[in-house]
Structure 1
Amino acid sequence: MSAGEAAKEYAAGFVAGVATVIVGHPFDTVKVKLQAYNTNTQVKEYKNAWQCTSQILRTEGVRGLYRGASSSFIGMAFESSLLFGLYSQTKKFLQGEAPSSHPQLQVIIPSAAYGGAIISLILCPAELVKCRMQVQGKESSGSMYARYSGPSDCALKTLKSEGLKGIFRGGYTTLLRESIGNATFFTTYEFTVLPLDVAKTVIQTAPDTSSSRNPFQTLRSIYRRVGFRGFYTGLGPTLVRAFPANATAMVTWELTAKLLGVQRP
């Protein structure tokens, strides 16, 4: 793959990432709210995804569903750019110059896992800021939780109070989620990776900065508090988001690549 063609793959991925946030962020906000507040005790803060969505719309309007979106735009755009670019380049490297009309799992799985592992380094800080912004706002109790005035304020305060280590809180869990999730992508993604996504949200939004960063210990704590169902908190909005968000990403990636003149095998 030439340098020019590789640059086009990264550009196509960047556009796909922006499109994904526009379509998927409201679902993600609901998912994060459910994961952050419905895994603490047996008593749920929100009865279901619809009640959570209604609460956000009633107290904050549509803007509330896009809370933390600016951080998500930056993170997702660069994540998608790197993911699709690295995936395409690694796949090309592993399968060689010989064209293949059939998917090769021994090429696809390591290519996607490698891309997911690399992007987790960028995605973790962006998602930490996004999640902390998303859990703010008026809750069902009527109280206003607003520690940060915006994404940049959140990032700066996190760095000031927790240091560089703080901005990468949940990094190991993000790496696991992204490498496993991207390796399985459209098939078993939601059911194999969602528990890690729940753990990541709990780790990144925990008020106690000294709390565990071990995803498996976090999952054990969730299990003790709310049982097995806690592992799949936010499954509803995740599944609803999956089709439009992933379809938007893939279609936008393919169309942008085609417009840029990228040649597919």
Structure 2
Amino acid sequence: MSTNVRPRRKSYDYDRAIRQGVAGGLAGCIAKTVVAPLDRVKILFQASNPDFQKYAGSWSGAFRAGAQIFHEMGVRGLLQGHSATLLRVFPYAGIKFLAYDQVHDALMPTPAHETNLRRFVAGACSGAISVFFTYPLELIRVRMAFHTQHTSANTSARLSFIQAARLVYREGAGMQTSAKPEFEAFPILKFYRGFTVSLIGIVPYAGTSFLAWGYLRSTILPPPPPGSTRRPSSPATDLATGAVCGVVAQTVSYPFEVVRRQMQVGGLTRPDRWLRWGETVRAVYARGGWRAFYVGLSIGWIKIVPMNAVSFAAWQGLKRLFDV
């Protein structure tokens, strides 16, 4: 009988799962806070905010856009929408990393079971589960970050979380689409603008990210001791591995993210109707060809390197701290 198979637990360890979830949630919050200013600028570029389109298309433009925000609104302007980000990121990252650990253990209980396909499936499943439960919070965060003094004449330059949620809820009164009865019967659907393309986009992003994470760790780190499924790693190794994973995943999934942002702000740019994702894809392409799907990617790379590095390193460090 093989000694490489772990004994089955008699009951589910809820205490361990809670610690795994908290470790993942805190790691996500730490990472997002590090890159919050760049995240806001990237959203403004992706969603074609009219106040900042003149800066789009260059690395230096991102810093000039940030300087304008800082000059007009100070540090609070650079962190606009960050409260909603943390409200979303903690459950999102917590669910994502917890789900990954659970699916990983189910598909790959020992190192002998690890394959690139299973690593991809585990990452894709964890991303899909976390997006489903936290997408409304993501939509509200994007609305808060997109909002500027010229996007609406009826509100101030800064939106609170509650104000943004109310605006989303009230949208669509004048829609002339066959989907209008659905929104009247299920107003919660208004908080899922762009959800389908997000779900499609999270599969390559999370799948590729965790595939790269598992592959690099299995390649770089020494094999585990006999009878163990854990590999020792240093914070520096976790930082470097997480950074590479983020760059690869961001590049693969970025076009989906651009389309998703356009759909999420559709209630502001086209309040009279519901924009379908196929229509949004055509609109993005008509605006600038295939390059339009990569607007803001350079900012994404600048952001994703520290964010993913910190996220994965903090996740591993907190797991060690919480003994999971």
- Name the residue aligned to 1:250: 312
Between Structure 1 and Structure 2, whose CA radius of gyration is higher? Answer: 2
Query: Which of structure 1's runs of 4+ aligned residues deviate more than 3 A?
Result: 143-149
Q: What is the TM-score with the length of structure 2 in the denominator?
A: 0.72
Change (3 A) 1:72 1:102: same
Within-5 A mapping of 1:193-212: 193-206=253-266, 207=268, 208-209=270-271, 210-212=273-275
- CA distance, structure 2, for counterparts of residue 49 and residue 176 of structure 1: 28
Q: CA contact under 8 A between 1:136 and 1:144: conserved in structure 2?
A: no
- Name the residue aligned to 2:63: 50
Correspondence 1:109 to 2:171? no
Unmatched segments (≥5 aa) in structure 1: none
- CA distance, structure 1, for counterparts of residue 302 and residue 137 of structure 2: 23
Q: CA deviation at 1:86?
A: 0.3
- CA distance, structure 1, for counterparts of residue 65 and residue 90 of structure 2: 27
SS at match of 1:250: helix
Q: CA deviation at 1:50?
A: 2.1
Change (3 A) 1:67 1:172: same
Correspondence 1:224 to 2:234? no
| Alpha-carbon RMSD | 2.4
Correspondence 1:180 to 2:231? no
- CA distance, structure 1, for counterparts of residue 134 and residue 259 of structure 2: 15
- CA distance, structure 2, for counterparts of residue 158 and residue 147 of structure 1: 16
The share of aligned pairs that are identical, in percent, is: 25
Within-5 A mapping of 1:1-265: 2-37=13-48, 44-47=53-56, 48-96=61-109, 99-100=110-111, 103-138=114-149, 146=156, 149-162=159-172, 163-185=187-209, 186=245, 188-206=248-266, 207=268, 208-209=270-271, 210-214=273-277, 216-262=278-324
- CA distance, structure 2, for counterparts of residue 228 and residue 92 of structure 1: 39
Q: CA contact under 8 A between 1:137 and 1:145: conserved in structure 2?
A: no
Counterpart AA for 1:246: N
Change (3 A) 1:144 1:217: same
- Aligned pairs, how many? 254
Instruction: Name the stretch that deviates more: 103-112 or 164-173.
Output: 103-112
Q: CA contact under 8 A between 2:21 and 2:98: conserved in structure 1?
A: yes
Counterpart AA for 1:83: K
Comparing both chains, which one has the higher relative contact order based on Cα–Cα distances under 8 Å and sequence gaps of 6 or more?
Answer: 1
Counterpart AA for 1:31: K
- CA distance, structure 1, for counterparts of residue 307 and residue 276 of structure 2: 29
SS at match of 2:171: helix
Q: CA contact under 8 A between 1:36 and 1:202: conserved in structure 2?
A: yes
Q: Deviations over 1:146-174 (max 9, x none)?
A: 47731111112312335211111111111
Q: CA deviation at 1:57?
A: 1.4
Counterpart AA for 2:264: Q
- CA distance, structure 2, for counterparts of residue 192 and residue 217 of structure 1: 21
